[in-house]
């Protein structure tokens, strides 16, 4: 199995000098933040911590496989796996990172995930867009079967693969996800896993010219269970004392059968759970929980060097 040793934690932590404070709240001046007191409960959210943040991509792949297996054991057939594809220094640099780089990384992670499923005695078919066939098929063959989406806008459907127990779908466009729906409808007894498809962004395109209608969400996307999910976020908030502007980072995460968690990076490779919920929280609630905890840390003890 290919092991990619690259840290995921910097996605949740801003880059600032190791000699500075352990808390991952970056300001215009070097500061140290000392937490004190307890945070009041947020309605509908508790503070139970269940998610272990992966430090490397191979850990994320192993966790994704474990969560997907648990979801399948619970009877779920439509799954989503979502986590950052590239190290943050690459992903945030438009001069060195392209859509092709992101997709190539997703193929590597999907191949590693397919290897884990194969070790679990499952036959896997990896489904690629036709535009990526020639470049990436050789990386997948030998680990799993390879299937291809029709060209964008072209007629036709994918598969099926009679010997496959599970379809691992790398889709980056709405029409490719629509092909995954056709595949799931034709083979309802097999598991379909959408891998790093960024479904949240695709939902925003529904109903636009050339895209599926909004009914596509109710008909298919709403039935997909996020088995493993890490979505990092960066925020900026204003306070009424120097340094007045505080930048902090966090993530929404879930590993089935665990809860959805809002995580705040507190530096040193550590994350703090600021809320856990059985149901996926709306963005405003998750962001508010992160902002409340970040501001509590900032206001409770702000000491300048």
Q: What is Dmax (Cα atoms) for the chain? A: 65
pTM of the entire structure?
A: 0.79
| Domain extent listing, the chain | 9-51+230-304, 57-227
Q: Is the peptide bond before 160 cis (omega within 30 degrees of 0)?
A: yes
Report how far residue 272's alpha carbon sits from residue 223's, in angstroms, rounded to the nearest whole number. Answer: 30
Q: Are 8 and 262 in contact (CB under 8 A)?
A: no
CB neighbours (10 Å) of residue 131?
Answer: 14
User: In the CATH scheme, what is the code of domain 57-227?
Assistant: 3.40.50
User: Which pLDDT tens digits describe the chain residue by residue (305 residues)?
Assistant: 444 444 455 554 443 333 333 333 333 332 333 233 334 343 333 444 468 888 899 999 999 999 999 999 999 999 999 999 988 655 555 556 777 888 889 999 999 999 999 999 999 999 988 777 767 777 787 787 888 877 555 555 676 788 899 999 998 888 888 889 989 999 999 999 999 999 988 888 888 887 888 899 999 999 999 999 999 888 887 777 777 787 888 889 999 999 999 888 887 778 888 888 899 988 878 888 888 887 777 766 543 32
Spatial CA neighbour of 140 closest among 110, 167, 184: 110
CB neighbours (10 Å) of residue 49?
Answer: 16
SS3 state of residue 56: strand
């Amino acid at each position: 199995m290919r092991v990619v040793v690259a840290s995921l934690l910097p996605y949740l932590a801003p880059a600032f000098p190791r000699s500075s404070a352990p808390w991952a709240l970056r300001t215009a001046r070097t500061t140290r933040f000392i937490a004190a007191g307890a945070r009041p409960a947020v309605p509908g959210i508790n503070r139970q911590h269940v998610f272990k943040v992966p430090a490397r991509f191979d850990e994320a792949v192993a966790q994704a496989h474990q969560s997907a297996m648990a979801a399948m054991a619970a009877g779920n057939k439509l799954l989503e796996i979502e986590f950052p594809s590239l190290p943050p220094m690459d992903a945030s640099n438009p001069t060195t990172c392209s859509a092709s780089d992101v997709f190539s990384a997703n193929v590597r992670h999907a191949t590693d995930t397919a290897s884990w499923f194969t070790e679990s005695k499952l036959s896997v078919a990896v489904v690629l867009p036709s535009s990526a066939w020639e470049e990436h098929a050789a990386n997948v063959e030998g680990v799993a079967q390879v299937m291809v989406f029709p060209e964008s806008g072209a007629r036709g459907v994918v598969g099926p693969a009679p010997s496959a127990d599970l379809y691992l779908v790398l889709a980056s466009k709405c029409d490719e996800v629509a092909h995954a729906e056709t595949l799931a409808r034709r083979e309802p007894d097999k598991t379909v896993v959408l891998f790093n498809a960024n479904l949240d962004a695709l939902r925003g395109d529904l109903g636009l010219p050339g895209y599926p209608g909004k009914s596509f969400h109710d008909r298919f996307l709403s039935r997909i269970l996020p088995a493993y999910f890490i979505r990092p976020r960066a925020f900026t908030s204003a306070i009424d004392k120097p340094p007045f502007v505080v930048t902090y980072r966090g993530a929404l995460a879930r590993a089935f059968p665990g809860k959805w968690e809002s995580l705040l990076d507190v530096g040193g490779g550590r994350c703090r759970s600021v809320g856990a919920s059985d149901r996926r929280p709306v963005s405003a609630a998750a962001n508010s929980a992160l902002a409340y905890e970040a501001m509590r840390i900032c206001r409770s003890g702000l000491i300048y060097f």
